[in-house]
Structure 1
Amino acid sequence: MNQRTSETSKVDIGLAPPAKANLATWAFWGTLLFLAIATVGVALIVNMRAGVTEQTNEVEINLTALEGALGASSTEALRVVVPDIDPLLSDAYSRVYAAIPEYVDFHYSVVGGYTELAVAAQGHIGAHLQERLFDGFDQRLNKLLETLDGKYVEAYASTLDAEIRAAIAAETPHGVLSEATQLVLTDAVTRAGISYPVAGAAVVFGSGGLKALTAGIAAKLTAKITAKAAAKGGLKLGGFLAGAGGGGALCAWGGPLALACGAIGGIGTWILADAAIVNLDEFFNRDEFEATLHDLINQHKADTKQRILQAFALKGQELDKAIAEDFRLSDLPKAGLEN
C-alpha cells in the first residue's frame, strides 16, 4: 500500500513542471500579441489625425459673407422666439382677465361709481386700472421678456456659427474659421447681446412704460364713466329735490331746523336713488360692460405682442450692425475685403 502511494506521488511530481511551462509560454506570446496590436492601433490613430490635419486649414471670412450670415441669424432668431410669445403673453395676462369680474363688481357699486368718477375727474384712471386690473403685470412682463431675450440670443449665436461654417465650406472645403476670428466674433455677439437687451416695460412700451399702453383703456373708460354719471345726474337731482321738499314738509314742525332736516332727507333720497340706478344699470349693462373690458384687454394684449415683435426686430438690426462694425474695426485679416 505504501509502495503504491509513493509511485503515485512520483507520477504527480513528474507531471507538474510541464503544465507550468505551458502557462508561461502562453503568457509570453499573448503579451507579444497585445503589444503588436496596440502598436498598430496607435499608428493608425496618428495617421488618421495627420490626415485630418492635412485636409483642414484655417481661413478668414469676408465682410460681405459675414453680413449675410448676420442677417440670416437675426431672421432665424426671431423665427425661433415668435411661437413662444403667445403662450407667455397668455400666462402674463391670465391674472388681468381673472380680475375683471371683481373690477366689474366694484364698478357697479355706489362706492365704486363715486371712486371712478373722482379718479377720472383727476385724470388718474390709468393708475386706478393699474391697481385694479394690472397689479403685478410689470413684473410678469419683465420675466416674459427676459425669457424671450435669452432664447433669442442663444438662437442668434448658434445660427451665426452655422451660417459662417456654411459660407466657408462653400468657398473652401475642409476650411475652418481661424481661432482668432472666432474669438472676436464670439466676444462681439456677447457684448452686443448685453448692450441691446429686450427686457423691461420701458423697452417695449417706451419711456411711459405700461401706463402709456393702458392710456387707451383709460381714455375709453373715462368716456363711459363720464357719460354714465351725466345720465344718472339728472335722475338723482330730481330725486334729491323731491326728497328735500318732502323732508322739509315732514320737518316743518322743527322751525329753523326744517331746512337742515329737508337737506338730510334729500341726501338720503339721493343715496337711495343712486343705489337703485346702479342696480338697474348693472342689470341692463353689466354683460356689455364686462365684454367691453375683455375687448379692451384683448386689444392691449395684441398691442403688447406687436411691440414685442418690433423690439426684437430692432434688436436684430442693432446686433447685426454692432457685430459687423466690431469685425470691421478689428485688426484681423479679412478675406476678400474688397467684396
Structure 2
Amino acid sequence: MKHLYGLRREELADWLKTELNEPSYRATQLFEWMYQKRVTKFKDMTNLPKHLRTKLEESAVLDTSAERLRQTSKDGTVKFLLGWSDAVTAETVLMRHDYGNSVCVSSQIGCKMGCNFCASTLGGMIRQVSAGEMVEQLLHSQKLLDREGGRVSSIVMMGSGEPMDNLDEVFRFMDIVHDEKGLNIGFRHITISTVGIVPGIKRLADDGRPVTLAVSLHAVTDEKRSSMMPVNKAYPIAKLLDACHYYVEHTGKRISFEYALIGGENDSLQDARNLANLLKEIPNHINLIPVNYVPERDYTRTPEEQVEAFVKELQRLGMNATVRREKGHDISAACGQLRAEHEKQGVEN
C-alpha cells in the first residue's frame, strides 16, 4: 500500500500515471483533499471519479498513526504520543504563541546521539521516521487547530531524533508541507535543529531551501561538550564552527545557537563570557534553555536568578541572547520524556 502523505505532488502525479493509469492532474485534486480539506477517506473525495476512489482504496493509505496519549498544559501546549503498526511511538508538540502556532516534529524513533541531558536517547535508536509519518504528526496538530479556526504557522524539527541523520526524509517532508496546493508553510517558517552534524550543516547550506538552522551547542570547551554530547568527539567545536561559517557564507542567514543551562555545569558568568567570545564572529542568536528535569538524569535546573544574570552578561557583551519561553513545563515537556514514560509503563504492566 502506498503511503500518500509521503509523496511530493510531482511524485504523486507520477505514481497515479504509472501505477494507476490516471491523469497527472489528479495529484493536485488529491493534494487539496488531503491537505486543504484534511479528508482522510478516499470515498469522501467527491470530485474524483468513482473508479479512481476505488483504486485508491485498494492501493493507498493516508493516516497510518493512532493517538496513544495526550497531555495538555495549563498554557495550552499539547503533547501527543502517536503510534504506528510496528508498535513504535513518537512525540509531537503543539505550542501556542502570541505570533502563531508552532509544531515540534520528531524525525526519528528514539535517538543514537547519546546527549546525556536528553530523554530521547534513553532507549537508543529504534528507526527512522518517514516523511509521511512526519506529515501525520503535523496534521494531527492541524486537525486540533481546525476545530478552533487556527492553523500551523511554523515548524521546528526539534522533537525526538537528529534531523540531519534522516535528512532525505526531512527534505521530502518540508517540500510536501511547503507545497502551495497543500499546507503552504513557507520554508522560512521551518527550523531544523542539529547536535552538530557537520556534513549535514554543509549540505543544508548548499541545498537552497531557506530554512532556519539551530545548532545545539551547550558547552564552550571540547572536554565539557564531549562529556555532554558524544557527537563532539566526531565533530569537535572547531570543525562545527567552521561548518557554521560555511553556512552563513552560503546562505546569508544567521544561526540560532541552543544553549541548555544546567545547574553547576555550564551556567557561570565565565561560561557566558567564553560563549560570547566563541560566537562573536558568527551572525547568531543565542537561545538559552533552562534544562528540563529528567528522572533518569542527574542534571538540575539553573536557578532563575542565575539564568537572568547569564543572559544579562551575554547582552552586556553585545550578544543577541534570550531565554526560551517555556511551553508545557507542567507536563512531560522534555524531548522523549512522554515516550519514555509510556514505554516504562508498558514494561511494568
Shared topology, TM-score over 0.5? no
Higher relative contact order (Cα pairs below 8 Å, separated by 6+ residues): 1
Q: TM-score range by the shorter chain?
A: under 0.3
TM-score, reference length from structure 1: 0.21
Q: Which has the larger radius of gyration?
A: 1
TM-score, reference length from structure 2: 0.21
Whichever structure has more strand as a proportion of its residues is 2
Whichever structure has more helix as a proportion of its residues is 1
